[in-house]
Structure 1
């Protein structure tokens, strides 16, 4: 830059002649390159430095890409069951599947619509639901169960799919006890409480949608659990007769189960249900 400035001098006498200009350029090239090696070796050295810098840049960008891909995979596994997410990520199809025996659990904060939505601001309602889900979600992860969806204050969990296991009844029973314990939010509405209902039976599950895919459950077991849950009592865990029979047949843990009696279920008629009170050896989250 200094050489160019001298060439641009307004006084011709102060401008370098061709001989001085050539010497100046040669000196600067000797400074830039190693004058003990040939010009070609210096070019190779510069190319190698550039290649090394490019290799480091490619490595750093690859690490960033892998990190972002891992985050995307983790997010996808939050939306869908891991085995389903991995199948979709690898380009496979997830066909609807029939499951002969699963146990579903419905939880609902009764009084939410009348006492929370009508009396509190939208920001407060959102905050309440966030606290409720933040309290429940870590508990569910401690069991072999999958949170299917949340609609307002309703919370649906299932065990026994997409990976079939024979202990799905135990998982849901112990999970229900743990969720009831986790519901310790300091709410200003004293009438708000959580109702639980566990129901065992067959269902069909599959991925619905492409833009915003969801893993959904269909079948009479889900519908029956939803209807029975609405007739539970605050803080109580209600069981269908099939669920109670399954839990009684299991030696460990020994659940404390009591018959509630017959209740009229819409579309099903009179159904005998039971209360799950607890167990001294229930699985902890």
Structure 2
């Protein structure tokens, strides 16, 4: 084995080892990060289902509380007047209120009146036989610590899960003494579960749990294993997330009944989009490392083929000495008249220019860094310059704005391309100045569309208010251009608030971008808005309603989401002192909009 082969071997093996170590380390970091994001997303969806179910229970509680505080109900519990039943407990009442069961119980535990209703057959039937034993005077269901107390939750009636609320029967002024208790219930039927799935836009299943241990052993092995894991969890409301396949992830949560015993197992199945994105990132990482290794090894081979190692070693030592001393006035000496001596002369010439090149390189490096900062947010640019990679981040609350110039196509038909681009550049430059003043992150422009977000890459509490100020200021800027240019320029704006994943992917032409359903909804808000209007979703409305004037537009059809309730943003409320734009400009001594030339 000659010196060339030895040098090649000693060069290639460490590079391959380093590549394997780097790939393994970064791959593990990426896998853990995406796995954590995937689990967090699944747990959030489980909690979302739980919250929707809690909302249904709160609605039933409000209905029961309202009925229990009627003076008519207070009188009925003693008189048993049939007119009360006839006027209040008709089929229409049960169907409109979505009730399956009503029971009036006096303080002695006697059921004054009780009935159940089947929506499919549209017929009344007696109370299930296993309900009265739960309404005796000693039952927890009819025991109240004080007049404002109530009981709500799941119970098993006739072998089926039911949402139940029990309220003490009081006078209309909420005074006692209580004359008994009112129970209202609604079965958790397959139709209710299907409605829950539609409202949460999730693939979910509800598995009732058997009451006896013998029946529990008849459950599939998969469910028995999941139940065992959940019961061992220290968390009072435990969740379990398990991959089902490369494409599906399942999350599980136990639902207890009103007595604290587990009665149902909630299962939510989700597509593994985050896992898939992690695999794509790992592939990019592997190919990038392999390409770097091959390029570097090839360069080493090319150099070794063109040199004589002994003379090169002397030349290398002289160059190393100059490098260590950092004295560019020194020169190398290479005897002979061949290529190596010529190389020595070139090195000497290069040493004379190195000082100048160093200064130029420093200036160019500053320009390159500044250019990168103009393209990417400062934290992301710094991460890319240090590690050559950026891991996407998850943000729980971000507000996104999409804006589009109305009638841009007609403008392009009437104006020259140069004038049209110049006008668009002036408008977008003014928007950029607004975004900088408000501390927003401009994401990108596509044609005549403009996208900006607040709350990332550094989270901020007033992200929705900052975007609202941006939208209102954009309307003023557009109106100013319309007045100055005489062109019919109008802008259409859509805003949404929600969860996103943001970051830089790929290895060429970096761009900081956002992904998630919240981005799609924001885009739909812009496309379904009207010229000169700012349309916001209900999520954004909840964050702006205290400081801004918003007008309800109503429910509109949104592609991919069905009917959504939206609002028009009109301006500030007269009693609100909040104004992020004025706060930002106050630091520079001005409260005016950016000057447009």
Q: TM-score range by the shorter chain?
A: 0.7 to 0.9
C-alpha distance in 1 between matches for 2:550 and 2:413: 37
Please state if 1:104 is matched with 2:400.
yes
Please state if 1:127 is matched with 2:425.
no
Are the equivalent residues in 2 in contact too, given 1:129–1:152 (CA < 8 A)?
no
Equivalent of residue 527 in structure 2, options 230, 237, 241: 230
Deviates more, 1:57-66 or 1:151-160: 57-66
Q: Which runs of 5+ in 1 are unaligned?
A: 1-49, 52-56
Equivalent of residue 260 in structure 1, options 553, 558, 579: 553
Match of 1:274 in 2: 567
Please state if 1:76 is matched with 2:372.
yes
Per-residue Cα deviation, 1:133-155 (whole angstroms, up to 9, x for no partner): 11211111011211100001100
* Structure 1 residue 107: Cα displacement: 0.9
Per-residue Cα deviation, 1:25-59 (whole angstroms, up to 9, x for no partner): xxxxxxxxxxxxxxxxxxxxxxxxx79xxxxx877
C-alpha distance in 1 between matches for 2:466 and 2:360: 38
Match of 1:207 in 2: 504
C-alpha distance in 2 between matches for 1:234 and 1:223: 20
Match of 1:189 in 2: 487
C-alpha distance in 1 between matches for 2:365 and 2:474: 33
How much is the aligned-residue C-alpha RMSD, in angstroms? Answer: 2.5
C-alpha distance in 2 between matches for 1:135 and 1:174: 14
Please state if 1:146 is matched with 2:405.
no
The equivalences for 1:168-187 within 5 A come to 168-183=463-478, 184-185=480-481, 186-187=484-485
* Structure 1 residue 207: Cα displacement: 0.7
* Structure 1 residue 89: Cα displacement: 0.9
Please state if 1:217 is matched with 2:514.
yes
With normalisation by structure 1, the TM-score equals 0.73
Per-residue Cα deviation, 1:45-81 (whole angstroms, up to 9, x for no partner): xxxxx79xxxxx8776545433322221111011111
Q: Give the direction of change, closer, same or farther, for the CA distance of 1:187–1:226 in structure 2 (3 Å limit).
A: farther
Are the equivalent residues in 1 in contact too, given 2:535–2:567 (CA < 8 A)?
yes
* Structure 1 residue 121: Cα displacement: 2.6
Match of 1:94 in 2: 390
Are the equivalent residues in 2 in contact too, given 1:143–1:171 (CA < 8 A)?
yes
* Structure 1 residue 261: Cα displacement: 1.6
Are the equivalent residues in 2 in contact too, given 1:193–1:235 (CA < 8 A)?
yes
* Structure 1 residue 203: Cα displacement: 1.2
Match of 1:31 in 2: none
C-alpha distance in 1 between matches for 2:493 and 2:363: 39
Q: Which runs of 5+ in 2 are unaligned?
A: 1-328, 331-352, 586-597
* Structure 1 residue 103: Cα displacement: 0.4
Larger relative contact order (C-alpha < 8 A, sep ≥ 6)? 1
Are the equivalent residues in 1 in contact too, given 2:380–2:390 (CA < 8 A)?
yes
Match of 2:512, SS state, is strand
C-alpha distance in 2 between matches for 1:281 and 1:100: 23
Are the equivalent residues in 1 in contact too, given 2:406–2:492 (CA < 8 A)?
yes
Match of 1:138, SS state, is helix
C-alpha distance in 2 between matches for 1:231 and 1:120: 27
C-alpha distance in 1 between matches for 2:432 and 2:507: 25
Match of 1:163 in 2: 458
